[in-house]
Amino acid sequence: MSESTPRRRLHVGHAMAVCVGMVIGSGIFMATPSVAANVDGVGMLALAWLIGGAVSIVGALCFAELASTYPDAGGDYQFLRRAFGEHLGYLFAWSRFAVIHTGSTAALAFTFGDYLAQVAGFGVHGSALAGGCALLVLVALNLAGVAFSVGTQLGLMAVVIGGMLAIGAAGLFHAATGMPAGLPGGTPAAAADAAPMFGLAMIFVLFAYGGWSDAATLSSEMRDARRGIVRALVGGMALVTVLYLVVNAGFVQVLGMDGLAASKAPAADVMQVTFGPLAEVAIVAVVAITAITTMNALIIAGARTTYAACRDLPALRRAGVWDAERGVPRVAVVAQCAVALALIAFGAIERGGFKTMIDYVTPVYWFFLVLSGIAVIVLRRREPDRPRPFQVPLYPWLPLLFCASSGYLLYSSVAYVRTGAMAGVAALAIGAVLIAILVRRGRSA
């Protein structure tokens, strides 16, 4: 095993770019139609996105305490291991490797491919192939070193934020000209006949907000060891909330609620209706870049959790290699890529693509977020004398609020079980068995 460890070479802007980039591409351009189809009116749509932002900021405060107190490349893995023992810590690392990060990467690969198909006219599996190729390019960039991967992240984020602001501006222009709302080509298709389900809407909302916790994996690489990760998490989520409200306002103003619920690519439809085909092509490029940005952030953060678990698990210690020169865990990056490619193939076979991957990820994702919220309380009581550069305000009420909201989303994700969700839970169960075997093997060695 390499004795090299992460160095403190990242500033707040780097971590914030990873945080914002991890979140924005997680589904705002694909999930919003499903949210609109499951809420009753514009007011409830805005409320859903405000609740999602508030829950995420509360969660960011909880993670800011944990990450600043226990800085480690494993992020949540380190918190859960300390609070609940090594088996649960390893199971979380497995969940990121086999379900959460790789499933989210596959979902974004479909986002990239679906939007690209708006102008390229792919065949049946064209979206999956395009997304897979994009993933391979990003893996090559990450293997080149942290300077390339994080530098790429900063540049891509500038394009993404500009595109989101353009959608908001399209809404303002549409309102000023008095054009009627609706999909391009006339009256939008009818929305689903099923009654609105706010719980289901919140699954898609919180999926779109998901990923902010992954910035905690950079805590051991922050130049500002005390407050850097705090500023990145809280500042990043405040910015995301504002951008999401701006984008949704633009969607509704141009497409209307029915048009938004019926749209398969709302950002492209908004720009086509407002500014014409050239603007549609431009925003398709921005959305594709957005998906790429988050895929890149997932590779950065996910590989670090895998590296940390392999570093600590004797049976996998040879995989816990950190390339000090490039600042990247090479083996973990390659392994994560292989699993993500397999999940892209699974989504293509199921023909659900993006939605299949949401089903696959969400139950496991919310289960571990509940445990992370509980870890704040457990570690406060178990290690009261541990120096805490940042403490979550209104303790213990904010951590309890975060646990309750995450628990509700866990319930909602299980209540609407589909094939993808069952596959995600099955992958977690397989991981539990593998970990028990590997831990026992390591102790007997």
pTM across the whole model: 0.77
**CB proximity list for 188: less than 8 A, separation 6 or greater:** 182, 255, 256, 258, 259, 261, 262, 263
SS3 track for 104-172: HHHHHHHHHHHHHHHHHCCCCCHHHHHHHHHHHHHHHHHHHCHHHHHHHHHHHHHHHHHHHHHHHHHHH
Query: Using CA atoms, how far apart are residues 259 and 179, in angstroms rounded to an integer?
Result: 14
> Cα angle at 176 between 174 and 179, to 5 degrees?
45
> Cα angle at 23 between 20 and 25, to 5 degrees?
105
What is the b/e burial string over 203-225, where b = at least 16 CB atoms within 10 angstroms of the residue's CB? Answer: bbbbbbbbbbbbbbbbbbbbebe
Cα 22–chain centre separation: 5
Class of domain 12-444: mainly alpha
Domain spans, the chain: 12-444
Beta bridge partners of 10: 222
From first to last of its 445 residues, the chain has per-residue pLDDT tens of 344 556 676 777 777 777 787 787 656 877 888 899 889 889 999 999 999 999 888 988 898 898 888 887 677 888 899 999 989 999 998 998 999 888 888 888 888 887 777 667 666 577 788 888 888 988 887 787 666 666 666 677 788 888 889 999 999 998 888 877 777 766 554 444 455 678 778 888 887 887 777 777 676 777 776 677 788 888 888 899 999 999 999 999 999 998 898 887 888 889 888 888 888 888 888 888 878 877 887 887 778 888 888 888 887 877 767 766 676 787 888 888 899 999 888 878 876 667 777 788 888 988 999 999 999 999 999 999 999 988 999 999 999 999 998 898 888 777 765 666 788 888 999 999 998 888 887 666 5
